[in-house]
Chain A
Amino acid sequence: MARASEAPAASELSGPAQHGLELYRRMLVVRRFEEAVQALFQRGEVHGTTHLYIGEEAGAIGVCDVLDERDKVAGTYRGHGHSLGAGVDPQALLDEMLGRETGVCGGRAGSMNVIDQAHGLIGSFGIIGGSISAATGAALALQRQGRGGVAVAFFGEGTTNHGYFHECLNFAAVLRLPVVFVCENNRYGEFTPFEDVTAGDIAARPQALGLPTETVDGMDVWAVREAAAAAVARARDGEGPQFIQSMTYRFVGHSRSDPAKYRKPGELEEWKARDPLKVARERLAEAFGVSGDVVDGVDAAVAEQFERIVAQSLAAPYPTPERDGAREFAPSTS
C-alpha cells in the first residue's frame, strides 16, 4: 500500500496509470523537498550539513511503495528520501531541518538523525552501517513478533566495505531474518570513486552468503519497485534476507560543502539524461498514455504544496530549553 499522502487525483486515470502518476508525484515531492532544503541552507535556515538525495529518488519511492504498516525502514544521513518514502510528513520533516519545535524530532535531531516511529522509520543513521544493523535488529523483532513484517535497510555502496555490512549480512542470513538490504550505488563514497576502495563486485558479496541478489536500474522507479516487490514478498514468506543493488547517481555534491570536482567528464550529464523524473514522465506517456498536461498538473500542485510548506516552516517556533524539557532517562514502564 502507498505510504505517502494522497495524490491530487488526475481524475480520469485509473489502475497502473494512476499508480504510475502517484509514483512520479512522490519522487517529485522528494526532489522539491531537497531543493527547498538546499535553498534554505543557503539562506542560513538549515544548519550544519545536509546530504541531498537529488537524482536518487526512484530508490526510496520504488522500494517503500511495496511496504505496509507492519514494515520498518532504516535510512541514512542521506535520508530525506527514505523518510518521505516511509511516509514522514514533509512539513514535520522540513520543520526538523530548520530546527523548529514542530519538527518530527522537536528540532533535536536535524538532517542526519531523523526518527519517526509512527511511520515505521526507525531512524536515519549518521554512522555508516548504522542503518544495516538497525534493520537487522528490526527484522529480528519482526520475526519474533510473527506478523509478517519486513525491515528495509538503505545504504550506499561505500558502506559495503564496512564491518557492519559484513557482520550483519551474515547474521541476518544465519537467522533467516526478514530484511531487505538496499544498496544505493551512486558510484562515490563522499569524494572517492567506489572502485578505488572496493575489491571485486559488490553483488558477489551478498551472493557469497547465499542472499538472493538483484541489480536494478535505480533511475527507473518501476524497475526498483518490481525488484523490491519480489524481495519483500520472499522476505515475508520466511525466505530470509534479500539484497538489491540499485544503480543510481547523485546530481549534487556529497554534502553541502562539496563542489564534486571528482566526477568524470560527462558523467553527470549522462546520468542527468536518465533523471528518474524524466524517465518517469516518458514512461507515463509511452506506456500508460498519460499526457504531458496531466503531469504538468502534478508539477503545479507539488510546487504550490511546497510554497505553503516552506512558508509554514519559516513561521514555526524554535524550541526553548524549557519547553524542550529533555530528560536523560526514559521513565521505565515495566
Chain B
Amino acid sequence: MADKLEFRRAIRDALDEELARDDRVVFFGEDVAKPGGVFAATPGLYDAHGEARVFDTPISELAITGAAFGAAVCGLRPVIEIMFADFLPLAMDGMVNQAAKYWYLSNEQAPAPIVVRSAFGAGGRFGAIHSQSPVAWFQNVPGLKIVAPSTPADAKALLKAAIRDDNPVLFLEHKRLYSLKRDAGEHGGEEVATIGEARVVRSGADLTVATVAASVHHALAAAETLAADGIELEVVDLRTLRPLDVPAVVASVTKTNRLLVLEEGPLTGGWAGELVARVGEEALGELDDVWRLATDDLPTPYSPPLEDDFLPGVEAIVAAVRARLGARVA
C-alpha cells in the first residue's frame, strides 16, 4: 500500500511510538509541547504522553542540553529540540564536552543516550543565522553520531534508531524537507534503521554522487537531466554523517570510478573533505576523478538571487558534472 507520509509527520510518529514504547524517553525543548513545535513537527505528543514526558522549556539552550546530558547518565533517554541548527553553538558544551565524552571518561560505566533534534539547511531565505549546516562543527567529535535523513520513511526509521541508540546523536532535519510527502514504505519501509548505513538511491555507471538530506533530491533531479546527455549518476544517500559509511561509497566508486561529494555548506573544513580523504585512502586505485561541490566560504545570503547562486542546487550539479566529465563519457 502506497500510504503517503509527510516528513514532519514521520518525526512526530517516531517520537510518539518511542515515547509509548519506552517510559525512559522524555522529549523537551522550546515551544515543542503545547504549541507542537515551530515547524509543526511535534503536535499532539504533549496531549498523548503528558507533561511529565513532553514539556516546553525556557529559552535556555545551555540548560536544555546540559540537563539532557545529566538526565541521560541517570537513566532517562532525553530527546531534545534545538529549534534551528544555528543555535547549536549555544548547546555545544553539553553535547561536545559532556555527553560525547562520558562513555569514554567513565571507563564505560554508563552511556549518555541523548538525541538532539535540530532543523538545518538553507534555501528558505532565512538568512545567515537561520540557514546553516552544522555538520562540520560536530564532525570531529568522537562519541557523537550525526544523522540526516532525506525521506519521510527514513526520518521515522532513523529517528527511532537514534532514540534507541545508547550514544548521543545529533539528528538533523532539513527545513526544506518537512513538507515532503512520500510512500511510508519507501525502501522496504524498515521499522528501525541502522545508523551508519548509506543507501544507493539511484544506480548509474558513470559517476557516484554522495550526499545527504535535501541534497539527495537535488542530485536525483540532476541525474535525470544528465541521463539525457548520456551521463548516468549513481546517487548514494549517506543518511549518517558520523560514522560515515565509507565501504558503501567505495563499493559504488569501484563501479563508477568517479566520485562527487555534494555538501550544502562551506567547502573548507566540510564533511565532504573527510569523505574524499577516506575514499582516497581506501580506494585510490579505483578513482579516475574525485571532487567536491559545496558553497563558497561565506555566510548564507538572504537575497533570493544571491542565495540561489550560493547553494549547490540542481543546475550547479548539472553544470559541474558536464564541465568535469562531459567530454570523457561517450
Task: List chain A positions with a Cβ less than 8 A from chain B.
Answer: 47-49, 99-101, 103, 106-113, 126-128, 158-159, 161-163, 189-192, 196-198, 262, 318-321, 324, 326, 328
Contacts and interface: CB of A to CB of B under 8 A. Distances in A.
B106 interface: no
Nearest to B127: A110
A198 B58 CA distance: 7
A107 B31 contact: no
A127 B30 CA distance: 14
B302 A47 contact: yes
Given A48-B125, A107-B301, A127-B90, A163 B34 contact: no
B306 A324 contact: yes
Contacts of B304: 47, 99, 318
Interface string B284-321: 00000000000011110111111001100000000000
Contacts of A162: 58-61
A48 B124 contact: yes
21 contacts: A49-B130, A103-B303, A108-B128, A108-B299, A108-B303, A108-B306, A109-B302, A113-B128, A126-B86, A126-B130, A163-B60, A163-B90, A189-B31, A192-B56, A196-B56, A198-B58, A318-B305, A320-B305, A326-B301, A328-B296, A328-B297
A155 B232 CA distance: 53
A190 B127 contact: no
Interface in B96-131: 124-130
A235 to B, nearest CB: 26
A321 B307 CA distance: 9
Given A161-B59, A163-B62, A190 B38 contact: yes
A108 B127 CA distance: 8
B130 A319 contact: no
B31 A112 contact: no
Contacts of B57: 197
B58 A48 contact: no
Nearest to A326: B298
Nearest to B57: A197
Interface string B78-105: 0000000011001000000000000000
Contact of A107 (B61, B62, B299, B306): B306
A44 to B, nearest CB: 10
Contacts of A197: 56-59
Nearest to B300: A108
B203 to A, nearest CB: 35
A190 B306 contact: no
B11 to A, nearest CB: 18
B59 A158 contact: yes
A319 B303 contact: yes
Nearest to B302: A110
Nearest to A105: B302
A253 B306 CA distance: 28
B59 A110 contact: no
B35 interface: yes
Nearest to A320: B305
B31 A190 contact: yes
Contacts of A111: 127, 302
B35 A48 contact: no
Contacts of B302: 47-48, 99, 107-111, 113
Contacts of B301: 107-108, 324, 326
